[in-house]
Amino acid sequence: MKIYESAVRKPVTTALVFVAIVVLGLFSLSKLSVDLYPEIELNAVTVMTTYSGASATDIEQNVTKRLEMSLSTVSDLKKITSTSKDNISLITVEFEYGTDMDEAVNDIRSVIDMQRNFLPDDIDAPVVLKFNSSMMPILFLSASTSSNPQGLYKILEEKVANPINRINGVASVSISGAPQREIQVLTNPKKMEAYNLTIEQLAGVLALENRNVPGGNMDIGSETFSVKIEGEFKTSDQIKDIIVGSYMGKNIFVKDVATVKDTLKERSTIVLTNGEVSAMIVIQKQSGSNVVDIANKINKELPNIRATLPPDLELNVVIDTSDFIKKSIRSLSNTVMLAGLFVMVVVLFFLGRWRATFIIILTIPVSLIAAFIYLMATGNTLNIISLSSLSIAIGMVVDDAIVVLENITEHIERGSKPKDAAIYATNEVAVAVVASTLTIVAVFFPLTMVSGLAGIMFRQLGWIVTIIISVSTLAALTLTPMLSGLMLKKDPKRGKLFELFYLPIEKALNALDGGYERLLKFALKNRTVVIVASFGLFLASLFLLRSVGTDFFPETDNSQISIQVELPVGTRVEHSRILSSHIYSIWSEKYPEIEVLQTSMGQSDGSNVFMSMGSSGTNLISYTARLTDASDRDRDIFLIADMMRADLDAIPEIYKYEVTPGGSGGGMGAGSSDIEMDVLGYNMEDAAVVAEQISDLMKGVKGLRDIKISREDYIPQLRVEFDRDKLAMNGLNLTTAASAVRNRINGLITTRFREDGEEYDIVVKNSINFRTNIEDISSIQLYNNAGKPVRLSEVGEVIEDFAPPSIEHVDRERVIKVSGTIYKRALGDIAKDINRGVSKIDLPENIAVKMTGSFEEQQDSFADMYTLLLLVAMLTYIVMAAQFESFRDPFIIMMSLPFAFTGVFVALWLTGTSLSLIALIGAIMLVGIVVKNGIVLIDYINLNKERGMSVMRSIVKGGKSRLRPVLMTTLTTILGMTPMAIGIGDGSEIWQPMGISIIGGLTLSTLLTLLVIPTIYCSLNVRDIKKIRRAHLKGLKSKN
Amino acid sequence: MKAVMIIYNQAHSQVVLEILDKCTVRGFTKWVDVQGRGSKRGEPHYGTHAWPSKNMATLAVVPQERVQPLMLELKKANEMAEDQGLRAFVWEADVLV
């Protein structure tokens, strides 16, 4: 018994099987986590080696080069980049996407172990750091208080950070910007010198005074007592009354030589939220946990936390990364629903019968829900890719059911009983249905095998569509005949109201049939004209390709902009602060779209990994702006970012700035793309000149912003150079002298003040007045072992100097990178402009220039896509050739492909969209979708021919009878994609190009397929007939 | 006794069975998947791509008096759906075992 026969004969079993699928799917759906993208394992490992005291060049030659050489032997390697700075070597090893990173890290470790013996003796062991997407913070909170900033850190730690840390899945909560308490003993060097005291002595005394000492046990009578001496400071006030020495028989107290301040740390990050001083709380998740789940838990906990806080403390969410995810997913779900509705309307429009429409529409939920089971089983999440896959498939899942139902209806109308009709009619079309499904699978299945970044994005798409389409075919062969057998009737009665509505539609459809018949007859009579004209159109559209730009990923508006402002090196925090509030006042007025503007500046206090990863300094101000939802504003982040650039240009103090729409590290597809030019060459002077030229050139290219040269500037420094001979003469050694300088400027910590279980540093250093100019350094008094004082100026000098910048490598070659971000122009066009300019530059010997960045990735993945296109086209051809058992018929059907591409180009050109990876994927999908129409048409024409009709009659009759099914399946697919192409809601920009290219390609190719395919078919068949006639004529002649 | 050969579109399978029951014809032999085509208008039934439908054939040997009602019922069924195709032929059945 065939599957459809059993399905019709056993309706209960069939129904329950599908109910089970739906229930299982809904269960999976309820368990699925939500995320933006499928999980991507970051493909980079960093090797960090410290070699104290070595200069950048030393590090490069002795550490970086050696390690790079051996690391380049690791398998699956994509790229090695490195930075050699003073004291440190950072090597980043990038792997191909999809590499097993655990294995890669092991390989790296063993390679490094092998090299260990060849590295300089006194380096620290290289540290291997594996980066993880979970290192990105998921939530930023800001806390501001109008009173008691001293206690802020403690309150935040106890009442905010700790409760959040207890939430399952939270990895770390770090607080920055909240000043930490510190007890400072600020000495006056002049007074110290007068009393013959040193900072080291003072600090030593404090350490000795601040101590609890156990004094052992004593038995008194029958009891044992422990003896304790509690010498620790009870209050910070006690410090000033400590005796540090005596001079001329009198005691010298701390207060005589220094001031004691119980205050906040001098240098730390200052964080402002909307112009007000605040603290920032950064929350990171554990790897493998879900962003949305954790963010939801934290948001649920926040009201409870707020309740415990003092009333003047305001706690706000600055950035919630789950927000964009949730919004994107919601808008995509709406897109799917809308697509479903459109499909329903089309089916009802063409069939004009409620029951038939119901039967067909039922396949949509059944097959879509099956996809959730797959997601659940493979541990995937509900993300943009999986939801878009549903949106893509929704228009195609009804196709098979339509074909089956149509044939069943025909059989019933010819007098079969519904049940028999259901079995035998399904039997007749089963092969064709399976074949057309196979063409779709032939397109989507290879997507699961794509490698690289595109592979991660499209693997899920490939699987989901393959599964959905397969399930829909299964439903079309079982559920649809079963329901048809039960529900369809011969000549169903139509309601009067329905008749009123539907009669005009029916008339229009009949008129359409007639019109198409006449048009087809005309085309068949003027075959050469039709064929030449349509191929002319295709060739003409290739010229359009010039004005359609190419891109890698479409830019998305995630309502975030991050801005880095760099003032001249050495600018003091106070100065930066004045400027930052100036910028804030400009922006808050100019851009009402900004909801929260967070500013951080000053040195990182190293309290969290994320903050210390970025460069920090007193001259850097970084802003993070959160804007209102994309749908609520007219200006997108790219426009606002560009306007901000103009604002920053107008401020002369600013040395450099960078405005990044989308924020840094917002994940793939978020924000804008970048372009990078690598200047490769050993001679750094030559390379710097070329880099400078390229940077000037890039500044002149339209659509490029934030041009940056990677080689940092020389940083001004004060270098203390001791004369060893003089040091020796004075009985000093370098380390003593150097640490004396450090202790006076940076400070010396020998003991800690304890209060309420917390420890605070007690720092001894020169008072701020004695730390302001070069004189202050050179007048530092050093003491030798004999206690004889020597001024620093006598044994060394202070030189104003510049620290040399770091040396970077790409694939073991020295490099200077020039990069820029792209603003509203296609990547391909910009790349072309830059390359044209670079070719004019006269390169010095041994200097090469290479384009990388998004452009390199685009080129790589485009090359992959073209291979994929060929593969897909071949597979589709094989499937069709097998179905028709002919080489020629699938070839004729394939003729509709060029017009699909013409449609893609026209649609992209009309909408001003550029050809991105996503649009290209759309074009590949078209291969499968477009040939379906041809299959339906040619199959029926062949059938007519086999039934003995003439070629012309077969074509005209076949075309006329297949017009409606072709239009119907095409319209369901087109309308299913429409919500995606229009782009509603946040994050829709990513998939818009795919919708646009599929709609464009499918529309044009369907219209032309309906004329061109029959025409070519006719021409080839007529040629056959003529050949036979000629042969026959020859036979006749030879007989005579 | 008469032999009645009924050849019909497979979609009539159920209908023919019901008619036999109705006319109290108990014994019959049935072939599924037989091919053929009508002499005048009848479409071919080959089970091929061009002519996907197939026929069935039922041979029943019935007493003389039941032939007429049976043929009437079959005629009625055929007229209900003429496009499907149903034909019945009657001939003598002489020797019975």
Q: Look at strands A758-766 and A181-187 and give their pairing.
A: parallel
* Rg of chain A over all Cα atoms, to the nearest angstrom: 38
| CA distances from residue A235 to A194, A239, A837 in whole angstroms, order as listed | 29, 8, 69
| Residue (of A788, A790, A744) closest to A767 by Cα position | A744
- H-helix or E-strand spanning residue A465: helix A452-477
A415·B14 Cβ contact <8 A: no
- Residue A1021 C-beta-side C-alpha neighbours within 13 Å: 21
Q: A838-894, pLDDT tens digit by residue?
A: 888 888 888 888 888 778 878 888 888 888 899 999 999 999 999 888 999 999 999
Q: At what angle do helices A527-547 and A496-525 cross, to 10 degrees?
A: 100
SS3 state at A368: helix
Q: How close B52 gets to chain A, by Cα (Å)?
A: 6
Q: Mean pLDDT, to the nearest integer, of A958-968? A: 89
pLDDT of A715 reads 66
**Given pLDDT bands bounded at 50, 70 and 90, which one contains residue A713?**
low
Q: What is the Cα–Cα distance from A137 to A320, expressed in whole angstroms?
A: 9
Q: How close B93 gets to chain A, by Cα (Å)?
A: 32
Q: A17-64, pLDDT tens digit by residue?
A: 999 999 999 999 988 888 877 777 778 888 888 887 677 888 888 889
Q: Is A562 exposed, middle or buried (0-12, 13-18, 19+ CB in 10 A)?
A: buried
pLDDT at A608 over 50: no
A417·B48 Cβ contact <8 A: no
CB A921 within 8 Å of CB A553: no
pLDDT at A491 over 80: no
Q: A425-461, pLDDT tens digit by residue?
A: 898 888 888 888 898 999 899 888 877 777 777 888 8
Q: How close A935 gets to chain B, by Cα (Å)?
A: 14
Q: Mean pLDDT, to the nearest integer, of A193-208? A: 88
Complex ipTM over 0.90: no
Q: What is the per-residue burial (b if ≥16 Cβ within 10 Å, else e) of A578-612?
A: ebbeebbeebeeebebbebbbbbbbbbbebbebbe
pLDDT of A613 reads 41
DSSP state of B33: E
pLDDT at A975 over 80: yes
B49·A943 Cβ contact <8 A: yes
Top mean pLDDT of A94-98, A179-183, A789-793 is at A789-793
Q: Which residue of A has its CA nearest to B12?
A: A416
**Given pLDDT bands bounded at 50, 70 and 90, which one contains residue A609?**
very low
Mean of per-residue pLDDT scores for chain A: 84
H helical segments located in A562-683: 573-590, 609-613, 637-649
Residues whose CB falls within 8 Å of the CB of residue A307, separated by 6 or more in sequence, listed in order = none
| CA distances from residue A411 to A632, A771, A904, A962, A984 in whole angstroms, order as listed | 54, 99, 39, 17, 43
* Residue type at position A854: S
Task: Quote the tokens at residue A391.
Answer: 């949106």
pLDDT at A605 over 50: no
Q: Mean pLDDT, to the nearest integer, of A532-536? A: 91
Greater model confidence, A456 or A562: A562
CB A43 within 8 Å of CB A93: no
From first CA to last CA, the distance across chain B in angstroms is 13
| Residue (of A349, A444, A362) closest to A404 by Cα position | A362
Q: What is the Cα–Cα distance from A421 to A414, expressed in whole angstroms?
A: 9
Q: How close A478 gets to chain B, by Cα (Å)?
A: 18
Tell me how far the alpha carbon of residue A346 is from its chain's centroid: 37
Greater model confidence, A332 or A957: A957
| Residue (of A89, A49, A47) closest to A72 by Cα position | A47
| Residue (of A674, A738, A742, A665) closest to A703 by Cα position | A674
| CA distances from residue A80 to A40, A376, A688 in whole angstroms, order as listed | 20, 37, 21
> Chain A contacts of B51, Cβ < 8 Å?
947
B82·A415 Cβ contact <8 A: yes
Task: Quote the tokens at residue A1007.
Answer: 């219209």
A414·B48 Cβ contact <8 A: no
pLDDT at A134 over 70: no
pLDDT of A663 reads 66
Nearest to A416 among B49, B54, B84 (CB): B84
pLDDT of A603 reads 60
Nearest to A420 among B14, B80, B82 (CB): B14
Mean of per-residue pLDDT scores for chain B: 89
- H-helix or E-strand spanning residue A184: strand A181-187
Q: Mean pLDDT, to the nearest integer, of A313-341? A: 84
CB A381 within 8 Å of CB A474: no
pLDDT of A610 reads 41
Q: B12-38, pLDDT tens digit by residue?
A: 888 899 999 999 999 999 999 899 988
pLDDT of A872 reads 92
A946·B14 Cβ contact <8 A: no
Q: Mean pLDDT, to the nearest integer, of A369-383? A: 89
pLDDT of A589 reads 87
Task: Report chain B residues touching chain A, CB-CB < 8 A.
Answer: 9-15, 48-54, 80-84
Q: What is the Cα–Cα distance from B61 to B53, expressed in whole angstroms?
A: 27
Q: A981-993, pLDDT tens digit by residue?
A: 887 766 677 788 8
Q: What is the Cα–Cα distance from B5 to B87, expressed in whole angstroms?
A: 8
Nearest to A420 among B11, B51, B83 (CB): B11
pLDDT of A617 reads 63
> Chain B contacts of A411, Cβ < 8 Å?
11
| Residue (of A447, A453, A327) closest to A387 by Cα position | A327
pLDDT of A870 reads 92
> Chain A contacts of B54, Cβ < 8 Å?
424
pLDDT at A86 over 50: yes
pLDDT of A273 reads 79
For A959-1018, the DSSP string reads HHHHHHHHHHHHHHHHHHHHHHHH--STTGGGTHHHHHHHHHHHHHHHHHHHHHHHHHHH
Q: What is the Cα–Cα distance from A944 to A951, expressed in whole angstroms?
A: 9
DSSP state of A126: P
Q: A263-274, pLDDT tens digit by residue?
A: 777 656 677 778
Q: How many CB atoms lie under 10 A from the CB of residue A278?
A: 28
CB A53 within 8 Å of CB A308: no
CATH topology of domain B2-92: Alpha-Beta Plaits (3.30.70)
Q: How close B59 gets to chain A, by Cα (Å)?
A: 21
Task: Quote the tokens at residue A934.
Answer: 């041809």
**Given pLDDT bands bounded at 50, 70 and 90, which one contains residue A664?**
low
B53·A424 Cβ contact <8 A: yes
pLDDT of A672 reads 57
* Rg of chain B over all Cα atoms, to the nearest angstrom: 13
Q: SS3 sequence, A699-712?
A: HCCCCEEEEEECCC
Q: What is the Cα–Cα distance from A487 to A639, expressed in whole angstroms?
A: 57
Least confident piece of the model among A201-205, A243-247, A603-607: A603-607
A416·B11 Cβ contact <8 A: yes
In the block, which residue shows the tokens 């659509």? Answer: A703
A104 φ/ψ angles, rounded to the nearest 5 degrees: -60, -45
Q: Which residue of B has its CA nearest to A422?
A: B11
Q: Mean pLDDT, to the nearest integer, of A899-905? A: 93
H helical segments located in A478-572: 479-487, 496-525, 527-547
The residue ranges of every structural domain in chain B are 2-92
Q: What is the Cα–Cα distance from A812 to A491, expressed in whole angstroms?
A: 78
**Given pLDDT bands bounded at 50, 70 and 90, which one contains residue A358?**
very high
pLDDT of A133 reads 60
Greater model confidence, A522 or A991: A522
**Given pLDDT bands bounded at 50, 70 and 90, which one contains residue A627?**
confident
A424·B48 Cβ contact <8 A: no
Size of interface A-B (CB pairs under 8 A): 40
| Residue (of A868, A1005, A995) closest to A933 by Cα position | A1005
Q: What is the Cα–Cα distance from A588 to A596, expressed in whole angstroms?
A: 9
Q: How close B71 gets to chain A, by Cα (Å)?
A: 19
pLDDT of A669 reads 42
A414·B81 Cβ contact <8 A: yes
Tell me how far the alpha carbon of residue A780 is from its chain's centroid: 53
> Chain A contacts of B50, Cβ < 8 Å?
943, 946-947
Q: To 5 degrees, how large is the angle CA B58–CA B59–CA B60?
A: 115
Q: A724-782, pLDDT tens digit by residue?
A: 888 888 888 888 888 888 888 878 888 888 887 778 888 888 888 887 788 888 888 88
> What is the signed CA dihedral for A914, A915, A921, A927, rounded to 10 degrees?
110
Q: Mean pLDDT, to the nearest integer, of A66-70? A: 90
DSSP state of A159: I
Residues whose CB falls within 8 Å of the CB of residue B71, separated by 6 or more in sequence, listed in order = B4, B88, B90
In the block, which residue shows the tokens 């040997």? Answer: B61
pLDDT of A606 reads 39
